[in-house]
Amino acid sequence: MSKEITSRASDYSQWYNDLVIKGSLADYSAVRGCMVIKPYGYALWENMRDVLDRMFKETGHQNAYFPLFVPKSLFEAEEKNAEGFAKECAVVTHYRLKSDPDHKGKLIVDPEARLEEELVVRPTSEAIIWNTYKGWIQSYRDLPLLINQWANVVRWEMRTRLFLRTAEFLWQEGHTAHATSQEAQQETLQMLKVYATFVEEYMALPVIRGVKSESERFAGAVDTYCIEALMQDGKALQAGTSHFLGQNFAKAFDVKFSDRDNKLDYVWATSWGVSTRLIGALVMAHSDDEGLVLPPRIAPLQVVIIPIYKGAEKKDLLDARARDLASRLKTAGVRVKFDDNDNARPGWKFAEYELKGVPLRLAMGLRDLENNTAELARRDTREKTNVSMEGLVERIVQLLEEIQQNMFNKALIFRDEHISRADTWSDFERLLDEKTGFISAHWDGTAQTEEAIKEKTKATIRCIPLDNVPEQGACILTGKPSSQRVLFARAY
RNA sequence: CGGGAUGUAGCGCAGCCCGGUAGCGCACUUCGUUCGGGACGAAGGGGUCGCAAGUUCGAAUCUUGUCAUCCCGACCA
């Protein structure tokens, strides 16, 4: 009908775009590569943000806000980091427009108003933050410094996709300073764990925790840890990263502290972030050909109640019962909507809320009024059951949890079925093409081999899993000795 | 950034080749009948045809430029 969705089988990319646009998560904008996040999509982000923000605060972090602009001289201070981002930086060069003398009503950049020093629009905030930390840290008593910021960043991407890769996106970036290397490394792993917990328990998406190979490492980091998730098309998606920065930024920005013995040393740093890209992961991991499927814990709307009536007959009774149920659900902490919009037929509403991924739908008609029942439909399994109004609130609360669990289990089974071991190159290529997903294989540890594999297959090393067991073997490509398997996949 | 495609009412499209002042379906408004899986009838409203130049008596239609989106590639923590 009016909101037909492309099926996953016919065109996975188009299916994804259809869900994002027709599910009202986002819209294209007049700016290349930038999207508008619509209220429904933003509500989803707000729910994710609120949970994460609570988790950050529980682990001792405070929020702050740093500027959007970074003077170029600061930006280039940490060389590796600067080089890594240089190609995708937006740069502010002027601070004024003026009327175009040749075209009435048009504006031109005022050539007189060139900035003495160009400003880089932050692709990430290490530079401006470490420049600031220099003034905040003198002694070990100022450490650890545990700060997070919710912000937008800009990376001038050549090819963009809604939520997955846009020129501007929303994220949080944690930036911490510590007195010892060990403490900073603990922080790095702690935040990785926070991310894994959030993604698994709230987004119902199983992740693999691991460490990146050198070529996939964050520019300026000593170690980059990540959580990797698997999408329904068998491609991997990096869902979050946490970096141990060593003393790289402290040295670049001269951030020293006096220890207990009054000896000066550079501080140890971490940074970590997740972005609106998580919404893309959520969509691609759980949804089906009917639309979005959202996990109850972060769904903007958990239950929708749809009345079914004939004329005005007993409509008041029906409304009263629905409103009463809605109010009791709200009291129980459930995000519920009673959709008594008279413009749409029930069938239309059913399809609409399925498209939007609302976990539970409750239909109540005159029959139900007589029988003291309602029709309950699950979005995840598309099961419909007739239920009694007795104890319905408790049943719904319990069912929402069940849906959350079911979604995670389903994704977990899919993910585990898509981790394959390959011991020969032909198996490696075949599994990658035919089975897709993660391929666990030996690698000789060199960037050259990694690059060669990428060129041949488009697969990259997603991570070296943290729970890896050492195992002697031969590199899948070169046959050179290897001490452990790593996970390869084609990725977003 | 290279190759291909698209842009006409909120959405989906026709009209363009062959220039003559814009149409269809859905949605929207009003009224009535309806309502357990995307209702039906009647009467209405809504578009400087992505934007800008140019050709022409006249441009949605032809030419050039530009912007955005999609697909493929290159690129990408």
* Residue A291 within any structural domain of the chain: no
pLDDT score, position A3: 66
pLDDT score, position A159: 86
The Å distance, CA of A284 to C1' of B34, is 39
**A247: domain range?**
12-66+131-286
The Å distance, CA of A353 to C1' of B28, is 21
pLDDT score, position A272: 98
Q: Please check whether residues A139 and A36 belong to one and the same domain.
A: yes
User: Nearest residue to B12, CA vs C1'?
Assistant: A2
Q: Please check whether residues A358 and A380 belong to one and the same domain.
A: yes
Contact A366, A305 (CB under 8 A): no
3-state secondary structure chain A: CCCCCCCCCCCHHHHHHHHHHHCCCEEECCCCCCEEECHHHHHHHHHHHHHHHHHHHHCCCEECCCCCEEEHHHHCCCHHHHHHHHCCCCEEEECCEEECCCCCCCEEECHHHEEEEEEEECCCCHHHHHHHHHHHCCEHHHCCEEEEEEEEEECCCCCCECCCECCEEEEEEEEEEECCHHHHHHHHHHHHHHHHHHHHHCCCCCCEEEECCHHHCCCCCCEEEEEEEECCCCCEEEEEEEEEEECHHHHHCCCEEECCCCCEEECEEEEEEEECHHHHHHHHHHCECCECCCCCCCCCCCEEEEECCCCCCCHHHHHHHHHHHHHHHHHCCCCEEECCCCCCCHHHHHHHHHHCCCCEEEEECHHHHHHCEEEEEECCCCCEEEEECCCHHHHHHHHHHHHHHHHHHHHHHHHHHCEEECCCHHHHHHHHHHHCCEEEEECCCCHHHHHHHHHHHCCEEEEEECCCCCCCEECCCCCCEECCEEEEECEC
The Å distance, CA of A54 to C1' of B30, is 50
The Å distance, CA of A350 to C1' of B29, is 25
* Residue A307 within any structural domain of the chain: yes
The Å distance, CA of A343 to C1' of B29, is 12
The Å distance, CA of A102 to C1' of B58, is 29
Q: Among A354, A383, A405, identify where a domain stops.
A: A405
Q: Which bases in strand B are touched by protein, i.e. have an atom under 7 Å from a CB? A: 1, 10-11, 25-29, 34-39, 67-77
User: Nearest residue to B26, CA vs C1'?
Assistant: A2
Nucleotide nearest to A167 (CA to C1'): B76
CA dist., res. A192 & res. A465, Å (int): 13
Nucleotide nearest to A341 (CA to C1'): B35
Q: Please check whether residues A62 and A154 belong to one and the same domain.
A: yes
Nucleotide nearest to A362 (CA to C1'): B36
Q: Among A405, A428, A462, identify where a domain stops.
A: A405
Handedness of CA A80, A82, A83, A85 (dihedral sign): positive
Q: Please check whether residues A334 and A478 belong to one and the same domain.
A: no
| Distant-in-sequence, close-in-space partners of A94: CB < 8 Å, separation ≥ 6 | A109, A110, A113, A114, A115
Contact A207, A199 (CB under 8 A): yes
Q: Is A105 exposed, middle or buried (0-12, 13-18, 19+ CB in 10 A)?
A: exposed
CATH of the domain at A433: 3.30.110.30
User: Nearest residue to B38, CA vs C1'?
Assistant: A348
- How many domains would you assign to chain A? 3
Nucleotide nearest to A353 (CA to C1'): B38
* Number of CB atoms found within 10 A of residue A431's CB: 21
The Å distance, CA of A372 to C1' of B26, is 37
Nucleotide nearest to A81 (CA to C1'): B77
Question: Digits of tens for pLDDT over chain A (492 positions)?
Answer: 346 788 888 888 889 999 999 999 998 887 888 999 999 999 999 999 999 999 999 999 999 999 999 999 999 999 999 999 998 999 999 999 888 787 767 788 888 999 999 999 999 999 999 999 999 999 999 999 999 999 999 999 888 999 999 999 999 999 999 999 999 999 999 999 999 999 999 999 999 999 999 999 999 999 999 999 999 999 999 999 999 999 999 999 999 999 999 999 999 999 999 999 999 999 999 999 999 999 999 999 999 999 998 877 788 899 999 999 999 999 999 999 999 988 899 999 999 999 999 999 999 999 999 999 999 999 999 999 999 999 999 999 999 999 999 999 999 999 999 999 999 999 999 999 999 999 999 999 999 999 999 989 999 999 999 999 999 999 999 999 999 999 999 999
CA dist., res. A49 & res. A29, Å (int): 23
Nucleotide nearest to A291 (CA to C1'): B38
Provide ipTM, 2 decimals.
0.90
Q: Please check whether residues A38 and A142 belong to one and the same domain.
A: yes
The Å distance, CA of A308 to C1' of B38, is 15
Q: Please check whether residues A184 and A249 belong to one and the same domain.
A: yes
Q: Please check whether residues A429 and A376 belong to one and the same domain.
A: no
Q: Please check whether residues A236 and A349 belong to one and the same domain.
A: no
CATH of the domain at A20: 3.30.930.10
* Residue A86 within any structural domain of the chain: no
The Å distance, CA of A6 to C1' of B16, is 29
Nucleotide nearest to A226 (CA to C1'): B77
CA dist., res. A425 & res. A151, Å (int): 44
* Number of CB atoms found within 10 A of residue A114's CB: 12
Q: Please check whether residues A165 and A281 belong to one and the same domain.
A: yes
| Amino acid letter, A107 | L
The Å distance, CA of A242 to C1' of B55, is 60
The Å distance, CA of A88 to C1' of B76, is 9
Task: Return the closest-CA partner of residue A475 out of A419, A416, A428.
Answer: A428
pLDDT score, position A171: 96
Residue A180 φ then ψ, to 5° = -130, 155
CA dist., res. A147 & res. A40, Å (int): 29
The Å distance, CA of A171 to C1' of B2, is 32
* Residue A332 within any structural domain of the chain: yes
Nucleotide nearest to A352 (CA to C1'): B38
The Å distance, CA of A453 to C1' of B28, is 55
Q: Please check whether residues A441 and A333 belong to one and the same domain.
A: no
Nucleotide nearest to A17 (CA to C1'): B70
Strand A360-364 relative to strand A303-307, pairing? parallel
* Residue A91 within any structural domain of the chain: no
CA dist., res. A230 & res. A285, Å (int): 7
Strand A97-99 relative to strand A107-109, pairing? antiparallel
Q: Please check whether residues A47 and A156 belong to one and the same domain.
A: yes
CATH of the domain at A384: 3.40.50.800
pLDDT score, position A79: 92
* Residue A281 within any structural domain of the chain: yes
